């Protein structure tokens, strides 16, 4: 077999160990799956046996982060191996699909490429032999999909449908080529609508509260008090699955569902209705939110288990590298919030699991700082493709070996732009090391510094503490170094691209309702 570009030494070694074949690459990504909602990452709130299986038989990266914790920019970074300022997608703006991507690179190298599920980049997918994607955010029940042949609707719950489509891709792919499949779930994105089985499973579960559910933001006044993603103030009746009064006029229902309740009547243990307000109401809202969120996660875990079983049953597992991650982290009541965006740990941190042949000492949890910008270079190295010099991440393949790679990064750079956005989150950038985090809200001239060794919940901002002046100075210098190395020239600091990813797809015909088989046929990019 000929390769259009030279192989790296590690990829060549991998091929030697696997009889000269390049691995299939299966990349599974969810939307808003917090790392602390996987049992293999120490979850206190749920169990994820399918994903734990990946951690047990592969690698669980203990310190995986995103460079911009929001959906569309994260997906652009995944495809390009570049930060938001370099790929032109800092907010919910249309992704320029004419630029180089990992899909185009591996396709040119002889891989059969596929994109299934949530795309959320505004432009048509490019670089894929087959694609079938949700328009915008998509819906959970009977989702519509866009394909090269037209728009179609598939019956069922989105997580199960996307899993079915992924398995169909594996069954119908050309057998004479390695494959690269991006399988992207909608779940567990807001409004957190689970499938019936898992909804029932979590209906009456009592979820442990995080210690910071009632955070008062005392030492962090710059941005947190203004945020609009709190459990107490911002979850709507629609989020909480409340039902409008039966006699409410139809034209008032949408407004009623979109508002935040300040009191709720619920039955007590004795069956007598109780009116909840204040902290009691916040606790009730947290339970409702988490029951649905975790039920959505459980559906994803079920789907991952089905895909892994298919790989085992068909023998594909022996030459397929499987990745699992999320597009960003998520607040599970931490600091009183849901959603993401901030550079605080629940939002910054993501799960990253890798399993497959060539991984030494399975079950390890490498502690090096890795990022979503590293994934594209990783896919390229596995495919035997030279990594372009303008990619800003580093291949994770060296971590597949038992010994840590030499001269790995000791800090990472983060930047968030969408201000005020949907949740009134202020723009900021920062640096994280193994032990500390520095955040700069540049429009407010405010700094936050945390010692993660003694304050993992980021409750005490020590930026103004003279005892930590030298640490502050050192981290500011590291931040300046990273900004220079990454050529972050503030191009989007004050002039953001216009939002609009949900409506910019190429117009195409409506294929109506289709079977999974029909959807596979429509997805071929002729």
pTM of this structure: 0.95
Residue 515 pLDDT level (bands cut at 50, 70, 90): confident
The residue to which tokens 């606790």 are assigned: 283
Supply the pLDDT for residue 505. Answer: 64
Question: What is the share, in percent, of the chain residues with pLDDT greater than 90?
Answer: 88
Supply the pLDDT for residue 16. Answer: 44
Residue 80 pLDDT level (bands cut at 50, 70, 90): very high
Mean pLDDT computed over 123-147: 97
Supply the pLDDT for residue 501. Answer: 82
Exposure of 377 in the CB half-sphere (CA atoms within 13 A): 21
> Of 34, 47, 5, 9, which is closest to residue 331 (Cα–Cα)?
34
**Residue bearing the bigger pLDDT, 509 or 413:** 413
**Where does 26-70 have alpha helices with state H?**
49-57
Q: Where are the domains of the chain?
A: 198-285
Supply the pLDDT for residue 3. Answer: 37
Exposure of 96 in the CB half-sphere (CA atoms within 13 A): 11
Q: Are 92 and 500 in contact (CB under 8 A)?
A: yes
Mean pLDDT computed over 289-317: 98
Q: Are 356 and 58 in contact (CB under 8 A)?
A: yes
Task: Report the C-alpha gap between 138 and 502 in whole angstroms.
Answer: 9
Q: What is the pLDDT of residues 342-375, one digit of tens each?
A: 999 999 999 999 999 999 999 999 999 999 999 9
Strands 144-147 and 150-153: antiparallel
Task: Report the C-alpha gap between 435 and 70 in whole angstroms.
Answer: 24
Task: Report the C-alpha gap between 29 and 204 in whole angstroms.
Answer: 28
pLDDT at 419 over 90: yes
Strands 59-60 and 352-355: antiparallel
Q: What is the pLDDT of residues 428-468, one digit of tens each?
A: 999 999 999 999 999 999 999 999 999 999 999 999 999 99
Supply the pLDDT for residue 518. Answer: 81
**Where does 343-488 have alpha helices with state H?**
345-348, 375-382, 469-485
**Residue bearing the bigger pLDDT, 377 or 16:** 377
Write out the two tokens for 234: 């911002």
User: Could you tell me the CA-to-CA distances from 449 to 222, 336, 429, 433 in Å, in that order?
Assistant: 13, 20, 12, 12
Task: Report the C-alpha gap between 498 and 518 in whole angstroms.
Answer: 36
Q: Are 260 and 236 in contact (CB under 8 A)?
A: yes
Q: How far is CA 159 from the centre of its chain?
A: 15
> Of 87, 21, 66, 23, which is closest to residue 397 (Cα–Cα)?
23
Supply the pLDDT for residue 258. Answer: 96
pLDDT at 20 over 60: no
Residue 21 pLDDT level (bands cut at 50, 70, 90): confident
pLDDT at 14 over 70: no
Distance in angstroms between the alpha carbons of the first and the last residue of the chain: 25
pLDDT at 332 over 90: yes
Q: What is the pLDDT of residues 233-282, one digit of tens each?
A: 999 999 999 999 999 999 999 999 999 999 999 998 888 999 999 999 99
Report residue 154: phi and psi, to 5°: -120, 135
Work out the mean pLDDT of the chain and round it to a whole number. Answer: 94
Supply the pLDDT for residue 4. Answer: 39
pLDDT at 24 over 70: yes
Task: Report the C-alpha gap between 387 and 393 in whole angstroms.
Answer: 10
Task: Report the C-alpha gap between 387 and 390 in whole angstroms.
Answer: 9
Supply the pLDDT for residue 17. Answer: 43
Burial pattern 122-142, b for ≥16 Cβ within 10 A else e, equals bebbbbbbbbbbbbbbbebee
pLDDT at 2 over 80: no
Residue 507 pLDDT level (bands cut at 50, 70, 90): low
Q: How far is CA 273 from the centre of its chain?
A: 39
User: Could you tell me the CA-to-CA distances from 131 to 105, 115, 252 in Å, in that order?
Assistant: 16, 5, 39
Radius of gyration of the chain (CA): 23
Report residue 65: phi and psi, to 5°: -135, 165
pLDDT at 19 over 80: no
Write out the two tokens for 471: 């640490």
Q: Which helix (H) or strand (E) holds 520?
A: helix 516-522
Q: Which helix (H) or strand (E) holds 297?
A: helix 278-314
Write out the two tokens for 253: 């229902």
Which parts of 31-176 are beta strand (E)?
59-60, 64-65, 112-118, 130-134, 144-147, 150-153
Supply the pLDDT for residue 11. Answer: 53
Exposure of 173 in the CB half-sphere (CA atoms within 13 A): 25
3-state SS of 164-201 is: HHHHHHHHHCCCCCCEEEEEECCCCCCCCCCCHHHHHH
Residue 494 pLDDT level (bands cut at 50, 70, 90): confident
Residue 234 is given by DSSP the state H
Mean pLDDT computed over 118-143: 97
Exposure of 432 in the CB half-sphere (CA atoms within 13 A): 23
Sequence-distant (≥ 6) Cβ neighbours of residue 226 within 8 angstroms? 424, 426
For the chain, counts of helices (H) and of strands (E) = 14, 19
Composition of the chain by helix, strand, coil, percent to 5: 35, 20, 50
pLDDT at 338 over 70: yes
């Amino acid at each position: 077999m000929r390769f259009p570009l030279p192989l790296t030494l590690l990829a060549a070694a991998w091929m030697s160990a696997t009889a000269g074949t390049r691995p299939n690459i299966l990349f599974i990504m969810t939307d808003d799956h917090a790392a602390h909602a996987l049992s293999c990452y120490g979850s206190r709130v749920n169990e994820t046996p399918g994903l734990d299986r990946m951690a047990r038989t592969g690698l669980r990266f203990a310190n995986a982060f995103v460079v911009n914790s929001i959906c569309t920019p994260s997906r652009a970074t995944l495809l390009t191996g570049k930060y938001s300022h370099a790929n032109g997608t800092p907010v919910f703006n249309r992704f320029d699909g004419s630029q180089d991507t990992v899909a185009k690179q591996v396709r040119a190298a002889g891989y059969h490429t596929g994109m299934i599920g949530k795309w959320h980049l505004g432009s048509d997918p490019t670089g894929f032999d087959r694609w079938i994607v949700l328009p915008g955010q998509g819906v959970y029940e009977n989702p519509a999909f866009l394909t090269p042949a037209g728009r179609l609707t598939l019956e069922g719950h989105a997580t199960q449908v996307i899993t079915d489509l992924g398995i169909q891709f594996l069954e119908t792919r050309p057998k004479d080529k390695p494959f690269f499949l991006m399988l992207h779930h909608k779940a567990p994105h807001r409004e957190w609508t689970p499938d019936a089985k898992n909804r029932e499973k979590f209906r009456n579960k009592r979820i442990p509260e995080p210690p910071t559910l009632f955070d008062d933001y005392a030492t962090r006044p710059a941005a947190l008090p203004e945020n609009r993603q709190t459990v107490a103030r911002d979850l709507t009746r629609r989020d909480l699955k409340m039902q409008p009064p039966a006699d409410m006029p139809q034209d008032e229902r949408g407004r009623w569902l979109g508002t935040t309740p300040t009191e709720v009547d619920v039955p007590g243990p004795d069956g007598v209705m109780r009116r909840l307000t204040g902290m009691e109401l916040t606790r009730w809202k947290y339970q409702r939110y988490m029951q649905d969120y975790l039920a959505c996660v459980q559906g994803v875990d079920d789907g991952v288990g089905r895909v892994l079983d298919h790989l085992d049953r068909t023998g594909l597992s022996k030459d397929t590298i499987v990745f699992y991650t999320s597009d960003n982290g998520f607040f599970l009541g931490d600091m009183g919030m849901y959603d993401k965006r901030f550079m605080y740990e629940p939002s910054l941190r993501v799960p990253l699991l890798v399993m497959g042949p060539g991984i030494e000492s399975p079950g390890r949890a490498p502690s090096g700082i890795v990022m979503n910008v590293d994934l594209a270079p990783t896919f390229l190295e596995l495919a035997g493709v030279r990594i372009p010099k303008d990619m800003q991440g580093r291949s994770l393949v060296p971590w597949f070996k038992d010994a840590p790679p030499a001269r790995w990064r000791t800090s990472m750079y983060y930047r968030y732009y969408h201000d005020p956005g949907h949740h009134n989150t202020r723009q900021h950038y920062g640096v994280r090391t193994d032990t500390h985090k520095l955040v700069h809200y540049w429009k407010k001239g405010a700094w936050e510094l945390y010692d993660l060794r003694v304050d993992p919940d980021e409750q005490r901002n020590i930026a103004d503490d003279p005892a930590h002046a030298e640490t502050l100075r050192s981290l500011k210098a590291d931040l300046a170094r990273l900004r220079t190395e990454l050529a972050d020239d503030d191009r989007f600091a004050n002039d953001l691209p216009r939002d609009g990813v949900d409506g910019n797809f190429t117009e195409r015909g409506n294929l109506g309702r289709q079977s999974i088989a029909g959807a596979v046929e429509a997805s071929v990019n002729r």
